[in-house]
Amino acid sequence: MNQEQYPEFVTERFVNQNSSRSKRSEFARDRARVLHSSALRRLSAKTQVLSPESGDFARTRLTHSLEVAQVGRELAIMLGIDADLVDMACLSHDLGHPPFGHNGESALNFWAADIGGFEGNAQTFRILTRLEQKVIVDGVSRGLNLTRASLDAVSKYPWRLSEAREFIAGGVKFGVYEDDLEVFQWARAEAPRGEKVIEAEIMDFSDDVAYSVHDFEDAIVERFLDVEILNGDSIIDQLITGVLDWSDSKLERENVYQAIQRIRSNEFWISSFDGSRENLAQLKNLTSDLIGSFVTRVYEANSNIANQQDRYKKNLVVPAEVSEEIAVLKGLVATFLMTSDDRRYYYQAQRELLIELADAIYETGFGFDRVTQYYFDNANSPEAKKRAVVDCVANMTDAHAHALHREIVGTEV
């Protein structure tokens, strides 16, 4: 499904702009706008799972996003979906993440609880439609002014916080803040309530594939995961429990066990890791094979999807075994890294730093970039001022957050 197969309605922009001089499609233009955005560049110094300062090997949010885009583009081509549109959604999917990854997201959500909280996906939409400065009309920024289809494709959770319980277990994930509804409702004008388009589903799956496999690889190379322990049967119960605790889905214990066994039976599985060239090559072959296996099995389950015309009815089918294996990889990293007792103080210190930093910026009015300074200075309510502070902190890289905290708070957390 190339752009010419999409109705003209979904290629419209909120602010009408003349077509580019080049022969690019509107979706290729959108991809280029995201690729050249400052928000994407900042991801190069933001935590994926391990800090950018932890070593030269581990992924940052930027390298993760590039890998998600590669997976998504490949699957889109296989399925006959517009590759530029999916690529753009994949590049955009983490733009709203603050310093320190999901840990920073939790801190800002706590700090902003009285103004509707913080959600990385809603922040992404805000960046694309307001905070990135490309199209400004009568003093109002429309961000990158992407097409309807593109804004829909990045909407992993296409609903407001007040609607979240209707569409998702727990009701905490959402895709738009209340003061960004104008463009959101325009983008979703003909969309069924709460339903994602196929491009967003491919982006979501590609994200799961990339971060499950690559975070697993990073954790092994940086020695947070001991491969020899993973090979032992004595720890199997702990591994299964960790996966079940971390997983959002309702998995059966036996299915998790079988998924672990399938992964350990991969021809490239490694029995030990000493950082040698041979080990690194084998680990890379393992990650490549896992990604290829996930993508191929999903393609085989959806090979006729291009024949369906309604983008909201092209539901991506992910086989149960693929979901289980992805959940195992995520759960292993969570068990040995993100929920590990010896990392809890580290994560707590990060959250405290962001909360103290947000407090200090709000009280002093110091530390803003030019865009968020404008919104703070022109806010017409305390809530709008707090949202500008959230925007400011969420924009920061890890290093900038540390440096600004030292400058305006003056103490090391």
Considering the domain boundaries, does residue 270 fall inside one?
no
Residue 1 pLDDT: 57
Residue 236 pLDDT: 83
**Cβ neighbours around 221 below 10 Å, total:** 18
How high is the mean pLDDT of the chain?
Answer: 91
Instruction: For the chain, give the number of residues.
Output: 413
Residue 77 has pLDDT above 70, yes or no: yes
Task: Name the phi and psi angles at 253, rounded to 5.
Answer: -55, -45
Residue 26 pLDDT: 95
Average pLDDT over residues 215-222: 89
Task: Name the phi and psi angles at 356, rounded to 5.
Answer: -60, -40
**CATH number for 82:** 1.10.3210.10
Considering the domain boundaries, does residue 76 fall inside one?
yes
* Interior/surface letters 66-92, b for 16+ CB within 10 angstroms, e for the rest: bbbbebbbbbbebbbbbbbbbbbbbbb
Task: Name the phi and psi angles at 325, rounded to 5.
Answer: -70, -40
* Interior/surface letters 313-345, b for 16+ CB within 10 angstroms, e for the rest: ebebebeeebbbbbbbbbbbbbbbbbeeeeeee
Round to whole Å and give the CA distance between 147 and 9.
9
Round to whole Å and give the CA distance between 395 and 377.
17
Adjacent-strand bridge partners of 160: 176
Give the tens place of pLDDT for each residue, 128-166: 999 999 999 999 999 999 999 999 999 999 999 999 999
Residue 404 has pLDDT above 70, yes or no: yes
Considering the domain boundaries, does residue 100 fall inside one?
yes
Round to whole Å and give the CA distance between 169 and 154.
20
Q: Which domain holds residue 84?
A: 3-16+24-187
Number of domains in the chain: 1
Give the tens place of pLDDT for each residue, 260-304: 999 999 999 998 899 999 999 999 999 999 999 999 999 999 988
Question: Is the pLDDT higher at 392 or at 8?
Answer: 392
Considering the domain boundaries, does residue 344 fall inside one?
no
Considering the domain boundaries, does residue 265 fall inside one?
no
Residue 314 pLDDT: 81
The pTM assigned to this predicted structure is: 0.94
Considering the domain boundaries, does residue 387 fall inside one?
no
| Minimum mean pLDDT range among 205-219, 236-250, 259-273 | 236-250
Residue 339 has pLDDT above 60, yes or no: no
Give the tens place of pLDDT for each residue, 34-43: 999 999 999 9
Considering the domain boundaries, does residue 219 fall inside one?
no
Round to whole Å and give the CA distance between 324 and 294.
11
